[in-house]
Copies of this chain bind each other. A is one copy, B any other.
Amino acid sequence: MQKVSHESAPTSSDRVDGRSQGKRQLESERKRQRILDAAQRCFGELGFAAAKVETIAAEAGVSNGLLYQFFRGKEQLFEVVVEELIRDWAHTMFPRTGDPPESCAAALEAMLRNSVEFCRTHPLLPRLLTADAVLELERFSDVATRRLEAQRTHVAGILERGVRSGEFRADLDLASAADIISQLHADYAARAYRRRPEYPMTPELLDALVRFVHDALRA
């Protein structure tokens, strides 16, 4: 009866500073993370309704009840999973380190390829990106929505720079183009995870996509 903050999504226990975690706290924190990982897998593969709490706990290697020490319930677990996921995804797409790409087209391409790679290992994101999961849960954490908008804005920024530099055509509708590119981005990232033969995600297709976007934008 100690943590149970249940309010926000504290990655770690209510420690004040970074150290001073006994072995117990550390072990606990590790279990919390295992639950989140398992939840992401299950929600991603089955959807919210079809994923069973029991399965998630089993996959995490913890008991059914422990889950309720960390999260208020299935619903809040879902919310936390989504928030963490979106945060990780953003970090992958726009890595802090590394040199900035030399051209705007290269920036878009990098973003696309990074994102596809991320989704290959994160089942849940595709579902969120296609915005279906939103329907499954009324009180959906709007973190996801805000982050998606942020991405569109970011893309629009890149496009604007490209237009100004003459790299992209001048009469581009920035908002719409950013929307379309974000959408394509989400789609093929989704496929990268799903690996269904009907919706393949081959390197050739990815190359074609990059080319497609490039041609549509070029001056």
Residues of A participating in the B interface, judged by any CB pair closer than 8 Å: 1-2, 45-47, 49-50, 54, 58, 126-127, 130-132, 134-136, 145, 148-149, 169, 173, 176-177, 179-180, 183-184, 187-188, 190, 194, 196, 198-199, 204-205, 207-209, 211-213, 215-218
CB distance from A7 to the nearest CB of B (A): 19
- 7 A-B pairs, CB-CB below 8 angstroms? A127-B132, A130-B190, A134-B196, A177-B208, A179-B208, A180-B205, A184-B184
A205 proximity list for chain B (CB < 8 A):
176, 179-180
Give Cα A213 to B45, complex, Å.
32
Contacts A1-B58, A184-B184 given: A208-B135 contact, CB under 8 Å?
A: no
Contact residues of A: prevailing secondary structure:
helix
Q: Indicate which residue in B49, B54, B188, B199 contacts A131 across the interface (CB closer than 8 Å).
A: B199
In the complex, the count of this chain's copies comes to 4
Give Cα A209 to B182, complex, Å.
12
Give Cα A132 to B215, complex, Å.
30
Whether B212 contacts A135 by the Cβ 8 Å rule is no
A215 proximity list for chain B (CB < 8 A):
169, 215-218
A209 proximity list for chain B (CB < 8 A):
176, 180
Whether B216 contacts A212 by the Cβ 8 Å rule is yes
Whether A135 contacts B180 by the Cβ 8 Å rule is no
Whether B45 contacts A135 by the Cβ 8 Å rule is yes
Whether A208 contacts B180 by the Cβ 8 Å rule is yes
CB distance from A135 to the nearest CB of B (A): 6
**A198 (CB) vs chain B CBs: closest residue:** B145
A199 proximity list for chain B (CB < 8 A):
131
Whether B204 contacts A173 by the Cβ 8 Å rule is yes
Contacts A198-B145, A212-B180, A213-B216 given: A132-B135 contact, CB under 8 Å?
A: no
Give Cα A58 to B2, complex, Å.
10
